[in-house]
Amino acid sequence: MAFRAGLQEGLPFPLWCQGALEAVQVLFITVLVTLVPALAAWASGAWAEASWVDASVIGGQWWLSAHGVPLERSADAAGGPGILWFVPLGLSLLTLLLSWRAGRRLARASWSHQLWQGIAGAAIVYAVGGAVIALLARSAASSAAWWWGALVPLVPVLLGLVAGARREAGSFGRLIGVDAADRIRRASQYSRWAGSYVWAVVRAGLLGWVCAFALSAVLLVIRLALHWVDVINVALELAPGAVGGAVLAAGQAVYLPNFALWTLSWVSGGGFSVGTSASFSPFEAHAGPMPSFPLAAALPADLVGAWWLLAVPVVAGIVAGWWFLREGENHLEESLQLRFGPRWLALSASTLLLGVFVGAVAGLLSVVASLLASGSWGIGSYTDLGPHVWLTALLLTLEIGVGTTLGYLVAPLFERDPVLDA
């Protein structure tokens, strides 16, 4: 009777099992997204001498690349040995979104002190799945070590799980079972001011970088629209056929976030490289041999001297500075005024420091994003692809920092004080 009652009420489901099932769902969808195009391309005759097993291996290697796993090219590969590591960020974003959804579901199914069980179950299953794919997706031309297949995919998956769980919980304090409000109440007033200021600066830096990236993405879309005929002509020269053309278009689309980050590097003045013999920036362009990649037809070789586009990151910084003013968390100015007296001195010093801090946050984000958008095809001269990381970060720090300073100073001219206007 007790057993029948248990079946009627529902058997207890361990949280680590639910995490494992969530990981299986993410694995299944991401494998499907990479395997189906590979098999479709094979069926359309893309690899004439290959079997469906070879096409499946290629799909598995696409899955590994989408998760940031480096592939080692053998000496038998066309072009010789090398390391292939060029992450299609569009597919990586898909993994993040699916993991974010799984994290929210796990947070709803657990107490804060139990959440680690679901995340651990999901991580173990995903690591095992990645190792199996790395072992199966081996060819004479390229392969990946199974331990890289197990460990590297955990980075986007764990980020997505934690971000989704945090979104569901509402705060990191609730996520780990800590009463954050009580801790804040016990802190001194100066500690609360400092914490609020630092958090506002971090969000302003993030906003500045996101605005610069969004504007760069718009510029990329405009550039592609203006050179759409050139892009189509390069695609037609490859003669992919109907199915192959659809796979080729999808393959271009998953790299659009990478190219948007390249555009951001370009508008900052830092520029980017397409191999060791080609680089582009607003000040100079060296167009070496280009790959048969349709989107390469829109490279900005004809925009040398378009220095006015350097205003894009400055505009993003102005938005960040304006937002910071509306947030009302400039406690540094209040502290400096209490210590040194004259408001003009406190305003000048705090505004300059605000530009430095916000620009530094945006610069750090730029380093991470540029590294993710960079890579190597491991073939010939195509061993250096992507933004000039450190120069881009330095210039974005300066440009967004200057824009933040201007935005914070100019915003009061357009903002209305509801108390004084009442």
Number of domains present in the structure of the chain: 2
Residue 135 predicted with pLDDT over 50? yes
Tokens of 276: 């060791």
What pLDDT, in 10s, does the model give residues 173-213?
666 655 554 555 555 555 666 778 888 899 999 999 999 99
Give CA–CA dist 168/108, Å, rounded. 7
**Single-letter residue type at 234:** V
Sign of the Cα pseudo-torsion (71, 54, 75, 255, in order):
negative
The greatest distance separating any two alpha carbons of the chain, rounded to the nearest whole angstrom, comes to 83
Residue 421 forms part of a structural domain = no
Using alpha carbons, select from 360, 366, 365 the residue that is nearest to residue 398: 360
SS3 content of the chain, % helix, strand, coil (to 5): 70, 5, 25
| Claim to verify: residue 239 and residue 163 sit in the same structural domain | no
Show which of 146, 161, 183 is a domain's final residue. 183
Inform me whether the pLDDT recorded for 1 exceeds 60.
no
Q: Are 60 and 137 in contact (CB under 8 A)?
A: yes
Structural domain range at position 160? 13-183
Structure tokens at 115: 């959440």
Per cent of the chain over pLDDT 70 is: 84
Do 116 and 134 fall within a single domain? Answer: yes
C-alpha 259: how far from its chain's center?
Answer: 12
Q: Quick check: 95 and 63 in contact, CB under 8 A?
A: no
**What is the C-alpha separation between 122 and 125, in angstroms, rounded?**
5
Q: How large is the average pLDDT for residues 209-221? A: 95
The mean of the pLDDT values for the chain is: 84
Among 318-327, 330-339, 371-380, the minimum mean pLDDT is found in: 330-339
In the predicted structure, residue 414 carries a pLDDT above the cut 80:
no
Q: Which of 128, 152, 183 is the last residue of a domain?
A: 183
Residue 255 forms part of a structural domain: yes
Last residue of a domain, one of 134, 158, 183: 183
76: pLDDT strictly greater than 60: yes
Contact 203, 141 (CB under 8 A): no
Supply the pLDDT for residue 341. Answer: 65
| Residue 5 placed within a domain | no
Q: Within 13 Å, how many C-alpha atoms sit on residue 407's CB side? A: 28
- Whole-angstrom Cα distance, residue 55 to residue 338? 69
Indicate whether 125 and 272 sit together in one domain: no
Same domain, 172 and 259: no
